[in-house]
Structures are given as structure tokens and as C-alpha cells.
Amino acid sequence: MSISIEPTLPIAGQKPGTSGLRKKTRVFMKPAYLENFVQAIFDGIGGVKGKTLVLGGDGRFYNDVAVQTILRMAAANEAAHIIVGQNGLLSTPAASHLIRQHQTDGGIILSASHNPGGIEEDFGIKFNAANGGPAPEAITDAIYAQTQSISRYKIWQGGALDMSQIGDTDIGDMRISIVDPVTDYADLMETLFDFPAIRVLFSEGFRMRFDAMCAITGPYAAEIFENRLGAAKGTVENETPLPDFGGMHPDPNPTWAHALMDELFLDDGPDFGAASDGDGDRNMVLGHQAYVSPSDSLAVIAANATCAPGYKAGLSGVARSMPTSAAVDHVAQALGINSYEVPTGWKFFGNLMDDNRAALCGEESFGTGSNHIREKDGLWAVLMWLNIIAATGQSVKDILSAHWQTYGRNYYSRHDYEAVDTDAAETAYQALRDRLDGLAGQNIAGLTVKSADEFRYDDPVDGSVSTGQGLRVICTNDARIVLRMSGTGTTGATLRLYLEQREMDPDKLSQDPQIALAPLIAAAETLIGFHAQLGRVKPDVIT
């Protein structure tokens, strides 16, 4: 085997964000950009000599090239075994499952998640640890440190490898196992949910539409919903993964999955709708003429999880990211289990799940999952909803109404301001941060502030501390305004404003959230000045 050791220099800006390194594809295509980061991963985890890793991505532009490069670098760095999805494809949840199933030393996932794909769009890469979850900050910090001191990378100088045939092949002493990306994951889902009951639902004419958004979940969804559960052919639309996602923005929310929203709100629309993102870890759930906010989805799942065979024994605890609404906390309280609040980023749930403190986790950013893997899991959430519908015989709309009648409704919305000039965004953020200490007791546009702080997290399992995790302003009526800077964008800065207000009056549970939250939206404008300071007329995305 011919290995070369290529001299290189550190490249600025290779700091992993909320979930790995995400940049414009053309940045990744620059000489040594990918190679430097991959070598930094290998060195940051103490080398890969003799180790086994999983490898795959969501199929976006450059996935195929990157897979070849990583395999050649893994061989040159003396890895023992790489398990890779056929044609280099794996959804993020399937990759997490393979890491756990084969007890590997971790895995590399190629994706920029919900960001668009293509040569002019986004690419990304992240390392997942041996528990199947995104690397914790200690590891991403070590990887970043390597990017700042790197002086060489190692690569095997061989020809192109055929990724299309399932089976084993060797480069030198390294084994490459090319596996079917779908089967093991679909089998896992079958152990968790009541497939016979869901099959009955479909056989009785239940109509579903799943929008795969030309991203990775198409083949998984077709196998699970159409082949194994008997949903009508054509239930899955935009089924074929494409390198540019067909020009779509594969982010399952009311803005980017508006075609699905429109269909579900037709008078004769389907009973159930769902969509997933680029790499298959996010989900949006819809009923006929009903939108389920991700925070409500988490709470409903917590309240009904025992419907599903894999969760019959109940949940050890639940966890949510700080900006996610407290709806799930009220369910946890009723169930007598703990609810944990962590910073944004799925990596923060890993310790809680490994320690069996939380079995169900969720985020307002359309992420929901359980301890079956260590990533959020879009299709898992959709199957959980189907299981709940099959078990209760209720529509999504009725399940939501009943939930709110029992627990109250946490009206919730997120307003995103995207591609804001970075300096202007940082100035606005810093201005609010500077005011936090003096806000308590102040009247802001008619609301009185009870407390204000910057969120920090003390991990109860390993004692690690994460500071600077978002600004919180809480009013005397417990309404809440949160401001964060996104860690996943690639153009300018994205400011995320999160708004939440609980309503217990049974006659006021069916309002439009934007109307219910109007006083809070006005107070946020007074505090932050999206219009007045940043010149933004309206948010780019409202969830």
C-alpha cells in the first residue's frame, strides 16, 4: 500500500459549531480543507490505529468525493475497519445505530443537516463518539486544537473505490464493509413500535403523506411506511435523494415544507403528514388541519410513550434544550419523573441517556428522539405518532386538544432572522446581554420582568460546565423571551428569538400562536430592536 505524508498548514475557522463543521461546499473543496479536518479528527481522538469507525452521509454534493478521501486517509492512518453505507449513504440516525450495533470506536457523518446542498450551498462533517452520539465538547475542542497545529496528513495513494457493491473489501490491512443503509435501521424501528397495529390503521384507509424533501430519508421511509407498514404507494414523495436535494431547502418546518402544509390543510387533505430533513434526524408532524409544534410533540410523546411496545415500562426521565418550551416539564411532573434542561445541541443529551436519567429528549428545532440511539431521529418520531394514533384511535387534532385540556398549552414560536450582518448581530446580542442584570422589575412594553440571565449548564453526570448558552428574560406571568445566535448557519449570523407563554384557561387553547404571543413579540422588539436596530421588517422563518 502506497501511503504519502502530505505537508500542510493550519487553516483558520475549522471550529466545530452546534453540530460539527459546516461551511460552504466550495470551502470544503479547497485544497487540503477536508484532509486537514479529517486528520484533526483522527489525531484529536488519539489516532485511529486499530480502530473501527462507521462512515456515511446524506448524499449531498461532495459526499461521494469526501467518502473516498476519508477511506484513503483512514487506511493511511492504520484504521482496522470502516463500516460504510452503500454508495456512501447513511442517515444520521442510521449511522448512530450502526456505531452502537457494532460497538465501534465512533463514526464520521457527512452532512450539513437541514442546510441546502449543492456546489454553491453547504457541506458538513462531524465525529460521533462510541456511544453513537455527537462528540461532546471535550472532543470537539481537542479536534479544533489539532486543526490549529496540524503540519501533515496521511493518505493512501490508491485509485477510486467502488462503493456500490455490498460486501467486504480491503485496502492494505484495513477492511471496508459496505452495508445496506436501510435494513438494520428499519429492523430496529420494528422492535420499538407496534407495527401490526399501524398496519391495521393503514389497511383501514388512513391516509399519510411523507415528504422526504429529496434527501436521505426517502429510501428509509419507503421501506418502512410503504413496504413494511402497507401505506399506499406514493405515500412518500420526493423519495429519491439528490445531491442538491432537487433545489429544495430540506428543513422540515412550516416555511420550507409549505407544500406539505398546504396539502394537509386542504378540506380533503390526508389524515397525517410528516417531513424530515437532509440527514434524517429532524421531523415535522402534521395532522389534518393541525400543525404540531416540536415542543408540543415532545410533550405528547412523553405523555403517551407507553403506547409503544419499546417504551411500555415507562420513561426514566425526559430532557429538552433550554429554548424548547416547558410543555414536557408539566408531563414529567405528572408522571413523577425528572425533566432536564440542557443547552442547544443534541450532544448535551448523551450523558443523560448514557446514565439512564433521560430516555426521551427533544428540541424546538424539530428534533425528537430516545435512548434507542444517541441522535435525534426523524422517522422514529413519525412512527411514535403513528403508534399513538393507532393506539388511541384519535386524530392528531384531537390528541393535541386533549393534551392541552389536561396540561395547559405552552404557546410557542421561534422567529429566525437569517444572514444578519455578523457585527450587527453580535452588537444586538451583546446589548441585551449587557442589560440583563438590571432588567428585573422593569416594565417592557407592558410586561414586567421577573428575572433575566445568561444560561449556563452544569452537566450532572460528568460535571462539565458550558457557559454562554443563550439569553433568557422571564416575565412575572412566566412568559419567556430567549435570544440565541445559531451555531449551524454558514452565511452571516442567524439570530433566533424564542417566545413562550403558558395558557391554562380551557377556553383560550385554540388561538393562533402569533396572536397569543403578540404582547411578548412586542416586548422582544422593544428589548432587541430587530426592526429598529437591524432593519429587519419580519423574521425569515417562523416556526
- Which residues of the shown chain bind ligand G16 in the complex (CB under 6 A)? 18-19, 113-114, 277, 281-282, 321, 344-346, 363, 365, 367, 486-488, 496
Residue closer to ligand G16 (CB basis): 361 or 386:
361
Residue closer to ligand G16 (CB basis): 271 or 277:
277
Q: Which cell goes with 161?
A: 473505490
Reduced to 3 states, what is the DSSP secondary structure of residue 447?
strand
Residue closer to ligand G16 (CB basis): 260 or 493:
493
CB 474, min distance to ligand G16, A = 20
Residue closer to ligand G16 (CB basis): 97 or 282:
282
Helix orientation angle between 378-392 and 92-101, rounded to the nearest 10 degrees: 90
CB 93, min distance to ligand G16, A = 11
Residue closer to ligand G16 (CB basis): 114 or 502:
114
Cite the DSSP H helix spans in 102-155.
137-149
Instruction: Identify whether the C-beta of residue 506 lies closer than 8 Å to the C-beta of residue 405.
Output: yes
CB 113, min distance to ligand G16, A = 3
Residue closer to ligand G16 (CB basis): 93 or 310:
93
Amino acid at 295: S
SS3 string, 340-384, reads: EEECCCHHHHHHHHHCCCCCEEEECCCEEEECCCCCCCHHHHHHH
Nearest-5° Cα angle at 442, 441 to 445:
135
In 524-542, which positions are buried (b, 16+ CB within 10 angstroms) versus exposed (e)? Answer: bbebbebeeebebeebebe
Residue closer to ligand G16 (CB basis): 113 or 339:
113
DSSP code of 512? Answer: -
- What phi and psi, each to the nearest 5 degrees, are found at residue 349? -80, -20
Q: Which cell goes with 463?
A: 460535571
- Residue 283, class by beta-carbon neighbours within 10 Å (0-12 exposed, 13-18 middle, 19+ buried)? buried
CB 278, min distance to ligand G16, A = 8
Active-site annotation holds for 113: yes
How many whole angstroms separate alpha carbon 515 and alpha carbon 511?
Answer: 7
Cite the DSSP H helix spans in 285-376.
294-304, 327-335, 350-354
CB 429, min distance to ligand G16, A = 13
Identify the residue whose cell numbers are 423519495.
239
Count CB-CB contacts under 10 A for residue 168. Answer: 12
CB 221, min distance to ligand G16, A = 17
How many whole angstroms separate alpha carbon 82 and alpha carbon 91?
Answer: 16
Consecutive H or E run containing 199: helix 195-203
Residue closer to ligand G16 (CB basis): 201 or 213:
213
Instruction: Identify whether the C-beta of residue 100 lies closer than 8 Å to the C-beta of residue 373.
Output: yes
Residue of 19, 91, 113, 276 marked active site? 113
CB 376, min distance to ligand G16, A = 7
CB 229, min distance to ligand G16, A = 25
Beta bridge partners of 273: 209, 286
Pairing of strands 152-156, 3-7: antiparallel
Catalytic residues: 113
